[in-house]
Structure 1
């Protein structure tokens, strides 16, 4: 439960940090995007205003607007005062005519290129000129009347219409508030007053990528910061889990020590105390029985101490000798059979040829004995069977130790070689959790590998892999 809470807190903290970092980076990008080429925008805005100071939209645009509106103002007034439907229809016709003429007669290319050349600006700059709104005024009481805006139906294609009005000239796409240079509303006086509104957008191709490139150091620093934080959190979590595991292992070990050492010590103390009684001392049989008990428990205690010392003192300075694998296994099996009572059995099927291996006979014997001990110790079958045999493949030889014992779950297979780990919860099975740890240490010293095939309630098979490079003399099958 605590582990799950810890994971949740770490994950939530990381997500919040990621969100904050993303938000700050995005805001920085927006500010950089908004301020991109501010000087150029200001310069173009001023130059554009000067170039049409006595005109509208572009040079010659005022004459086009005046000529078209002057012809239609009386009709627009009459329609507005008499029939609003006719006014709407006439407004659309006038607007379409005006906009088409402005598009056709546009001189904006020459105006813009003149501004770029005069001020030494980037020749790759693109522009877009849009016509946004037309207002007319018949008298001050009625006020301004809009005959065209961005919501008015027109005869133009969708590609010629933007949220900022109808495109008059230019190729820049898309227009937005970041690349808008100017938004002008200019008035004119004919028989009646009018006001037109238009926009100029200027930008260089790939501005988004350029801004992103300018932000690249920031992006890299943010990414590095996130990676470092993730690494620190991961390292902290792994360290915490390792410490937790070590604490659990130590706790299990101390519990095992308490059980495994306390039992023989208590028995020895009780037996020793009994030996002080006159009634016991006068009974030779009872004395012998108590002495045997003390001796057995002392040997048990001695075995545990030796096992711990073997593990703690084991190192890479082993004494390698050329030894026949068949002989080493057979010798151990024959000695071990003395402790096995029928109908239980321990068998070994030697390989059909001599296998000379560089090994430390003592370490090998102790390692194999630990595996065989486990095969009988953790076996609740009525008839306990352990079989040993050797097979060969292209990479070397494999020593199999197979039993019909309790087996184990797959998630336990990687843990059983850990120091002090005890897979079974049966307190009647003695041990300190050092046997298979010692096995793994022995195999690592020899440079051998081990794997496990196991099925719960059906038994376990240990496979010790001996590479061909360590076989000094073998007969091909």
Structure 2
């Protein structure tokens, strides 16, 4: 089953996103676990000392006396107010609670207790606490429970600075009470009439908790980022290799199709000519044999040329290239003259604009000639103009000879230019599918230029023409 490039991209992208999501999920869960377990030892030490000091007390050491003075001394009056209606009870309750909360804040001994715990256990100085009352229920006669205060419904007399998500602030500077930094949450109750139930809690944490947790998680974060980077890199390399292999497979398929077509044409012609030569009626007249032998000769030369084109690219390299000194303008003139003589395409001309001075260049004449002929053939094959024109210019700029071959052909799209020099690559443009070839001409040209130690640049515009410039190092 063959998948399209679009399908492969989609499947690969989904897989990449899933892998990154898994890494992120695991990292996030590690962060949450670290956050929940952060300062577990510190919390345990503070909780142990705190619960010891308030074992027979409430909120903070000495807090029970203050609370009883306001709640126990006013419990019957609050019951009477409750019996007179919600409005009367709310007014009396707010007066009692406002006075009690103020007295608790003024008599708070938790500051000194918390400082002593930090000193004793050598805890960080930036450790802060928050002490709150979270809920109060009054117990009237016959064990009637009446809500006097709850953090979910704070009374209007409390200032915003005293309200926290967990209860009314009694002491401490911590502004972020979280489940992770809760030290203790205590509920005290008494199963007797005219009493109260109360819940209070202590939180402790560093001022910059998130940053501290992130610092602890930094190695994990870095490993996660490295893992994601590796996954992306592997995906990218795999994807590039897959594209390369896919492209190579397509080129090989095109090559097999092209070479089959190119080789079958002369072979079929030779076979037909040979069969005709075996015909008795043709053998009876010697004049009929000569045209058939000419056909066989031409097609044999064509087969040899095809084989040579395939084989030459495997033997061309800088170490084995035999070079001789030639005068470039004279050599170009000879090549172009011969090409114009055998040119069978009408309204076509190759023109040479040579530099005014002699240019001596070290090159391999055979490969150089074949290279130019490949460029000329392509310029004619991919040209739909009524008058086909190829111009060859030689100029000298500083220490470089520029050999420029220009045409007025169909041109090459920008996205195709980087591929036209690849082995077996054939530029498929609308209207050019019928053009024969093996996709080796420009590859051969590029290898020839490379083996000489020269460089090549290409400029092209569709429906205007192309310009191939060969840069040849030159010392005058």
CA distance in 2, matches of 1:389, 1:161: 88
CA distance in 2, matches of 1:51, 1:145: 28
Which stretch has the larger CA shift, 369-378 or 59-68? 59-68
Match of 1:434 in 2: 440
Match of 1:448 in 2: 454
Match of 1:409 in 2: 413
Q: CA deviation at 1:267?
A: 0.6
Q: CA deviation at 1:347?
A: 0.4
TM-score calculated relative to the size of structure 1: 0.91
Answering whether residue 465 of structure 2 is matched by residue 459 of structure 1, we say yes
Answering whether residue 233 of structure 2 is matched by residue 231 of structure 1, we say yes
Q: CA deviation at 1:255?
A: 0.9
Consecutive unaligned residues in structure 2, runs of 5 or more: none
Closer, same or farther in 2 for the Cα pair 1:140/1:117, shift >3 Å? farther
The match for 1:307 among 309, 319, 328 is 309
Q: CA deviation at 1:395?
A: 7.3
Which stretch has the larger CA shift, 225-234 or 39-48? 225-234
Q: CA deviation at 1:271?
A: 0.8
Cα shift readout 1:197-234 (whole Å, capped 9, x = no counterpart): 22111123433333333333333333333333333333
Match of 2:46 in 1: 44
Closer, same or farther in 2 for the Cα pair 1:75/1:358, shift >3 Å? farther
The match for 1:343 among 326, 347, 353 is 347
CA distance in 1, matches of 2:434, 2:298: 17
Match of 1:243 in 2: 245
Q: CA deviation at 1:268?
A: 0.8
CA distance in 2, matches of 1:102, 1:185: 17
CA distance in 2, matches of 1:144, 1:81: 12
The match for 1:378 among 379, 382, 396 is 382
Q: Between Structure 1 and Structure 2, how many residues are aligned?
A: 470
Contact 2:389-2:407 at 8 Å conserved across structures = yes
Contact 2:399-2:474 at 8 Å conserved across structures = no
Cα shift readout 1:326-363 (whole Å, capped 9, x = no counterpart): 33323322221112365321101112334444433333
Closer, same or farther in 2 for the Cα pair 1:103/1:322, shift >3 Å? farther
Closer, same or farther in 2 for the Cα pair 1:398/1:151, shift >3 Å? farther
Match of 2:331 in 1: 328
Cα shift readout 1:408-439 (whole Å, capped 9, x = no counterpart): 32222122111111224646433211110011
How well do the aligned residues superpose, as a CA RMSD in angstroms?
Answer: 2.4
Match of 2:120 in 1: 118
Contact 1:401-1:463 at 8 Å conserved across structures = yes
Closer, same or farther in 2 for the Cα pair 1:59/1:334, shift >3 Å? same
Q: CA deviation at 1:13?
A: 1.6
Q: CA deviation at 1:154?
A: 3.4
Contact 1:134-1:149 at 8 Å conserved across structures = no
